[in-house]
Homo-oligomer: A and B are copies of this chain.
């Protein structure tokens, strides 16, 4: 099945819905980017993903990665595809121009990332880790560190990896054991074992730059005693050439449910040479500066999976002849009508569309907040991006997985066999809900840090912004109801959380879903308000109607579930589980 990037929708979002041209015009760093240039980038991204990246997706899943004596071989087809992706500058798209990046806005990068995730999630994982490492180095590196690493990462000659997790410490980084001993030359000797290291070892690049969390000998206990180190596979000589092999190795690969073309290593650091990145004991904070970007990117992974799955299911439903329409044959000369005549099949496809298209708008919107914060020092946009990031990560990946499951269901039995490819999308999409902070952790981040900490003030400010935006008249009343509900539920939680320390955790996931659906209602209202009078616009209006009639009503149940929780979650004794 050929993936085709949603180029038209991307243009609609950038230029009609969010009017990126007006935003960029007022920002010196971005006002060089013309609409023509942006359209050319989108077109080239669409070509690359359709012609080069997507064809490697299914075969990558079948071949998987191989480990032998510490060396990792990726699927055969990945080499050429990654080389083309790297050579095209796609990993430096939003990178710092001072060091060879292209300095393009995240609004655009979000759309390109979606294409790459959709076309081959496993392959792009090597890319996104590289982009993430670059962001961290750009924010916290010394000028020498930036000059040494950034150009090579932007060009994809080297790739990045993040080494956080240890086997006993998943989401709880405070109890990690990896040690960093200061050396006489100013470097550190890193010893310990990390697990689940995506792209920690592979054969797609000549060097692999680990950003590794470890503890100094005298470090405070818990998360305040964690430092961040650059630990490259090959040490880099003064002249930039590669020197000796560093003291770490892949101990084994994980056998995973999906993303099987992505090599996930156990990494053993055995006195490896590391270089402090940022300040001592400030490692977590340094990691967090890029967290909003990374979490948005993983959210976009979910979106890409959802889009890829939808395209497969829609093509299958149009082509597959099964049964007859309840109103009489629509394909009287054929043996049966297409699956599209069945309302239940349409329900599944429309749910995917409604969530994908709103999800794409959401990703671009969050990207815009990151751009405004970074390039226009817009503090409100920074706060908004922090509020919205956990929602983007969790809601987009939840919807991506559920959309892929719906797409698989459209295929019936053919969705369960490997041949058609859609079961791979389900397996690949599942990881998005788990890594980069599980979606439960995102939900708690949202409710605790982003909503309760200021008593709901920022949330309320964002609700006011949504209420003041012009949306399509036919959806205004439903949107108002949804906004009122969000305010009401937030107030309920703010009021009750003080007296019940378990409340916020108990209802966090439902609250995130409620918030996400409300944002999607707002975005559908905005999209419809500027949808053109052609087939594209007609499809937007029809999909929006489905969203408001069939998906937004879930918020009714979410409100009642949240507000009747009481101590229902904590009542059962631990031994009884």
Q: Which residues of chain A have a CB within 8 Å of any CB of chain B?
A: 165, 168-172, 175, 195-196, 254-258, 314, 317-318, 321-323, 326-327, 335-336, 338, 340, 342-350, 353, 401, 405, 408-409, 412-419, 423, 426-427, 430-431, 433-435, 438-440, 443-444, 501-502, 505-506, 508-509, 535, 538-539, 542-543, 545-546, 549-551, 553-561, 564-566, 568-577
Contacts and interface: CB of A to CB of B under 8 A. Distances in A.
Nearest to A435: B413
Contacts of A347: 506, 509, 569
A433 B407 CA distance: 13
Contacts of A340: 574, 577
B255 A419 contact: yes
Contact of A508 (B258, B344, B535): B344
Nearest to A169: B322
A543 B572 contact: yes
Contacts of A349: 577
A535 B577 contact: no
A201 to B, nearest CB: 17
Contacts of A418: 255-257
B546 A322 contact: no
Contacts of A427: 257, 427
B417 A256 contact: yes
Shortest 7 CB-CB contacts between residues of A and residues of B: A343-B505, A553-B560, A557-B557, A556-B556, A542-B572, A549-B568, A257-B423
B426 A412 contact: no
Given A344-B505, A344-B506, 5 more contacts: A327-B502, A408-B434, A416-B435, A426-B430, A535-B576
A451 to B, nearest CB: 15
A196 B196 CA distance: 36
Contacts of A444: 344
A161 to B, nearest CB: 15
A77 to B, nearest CB: 19
Nearest to A424: B257
10 contacts: A172-B322, A196-B413, A254-B417, A257-B427, A318-B577, A350-B572, A409-B434, A413-B435, A539-B573, A556-B557
A110 B261 CA distance: 41
Contacts of A508: 343-344
A509 B350 CA distance: 14
A194 B249 CA distance: 50
B443 A506 contact: no
Contact of A412 (B401, B438, B570): B438
A167 to B, nearest CB: 9
A326 B505 contact: yes
A539 B576 CA distance: 7
A538 B326 contact: no
Given A257-B423, A556-B556, A350 B569 contact: yes
B502 A175 contact: no
A338 B551 CA distance: 36
A574 B171 contact: no
Contacts of A576: 535, 538-539, 542
B412 A326 contact: no
Count chain B CB atoms within 10 A of each CB in A336, A416, A539 and give the residue with the most.
A416
A326 B545 CA distance: 42
Count chain B CB atoms within 10 A of each CB in A175, A542, A572 and give the residue with the most.
A572
Contacts of A535: 573, 575-576
Contacts of A317: 577
Nearest to A431: B416
A326 B170 CA distance: 18
B571 A545 contact: yes
B338 A574 contact: yes
Contacts of A175: 335-336
B345 A440 contact: yes
Nearest to A314: B577
B434 A501 contact: no
Nearest to A413: B196
Given A322-B169, A569-B346, A572-B542, A558 B557 contact: yes
Contact of A343 (B344, B431, B570): B570
Contacts of A401: 405
Contacts of A171: 322-323, 412
A560 B353 CA distance: 20
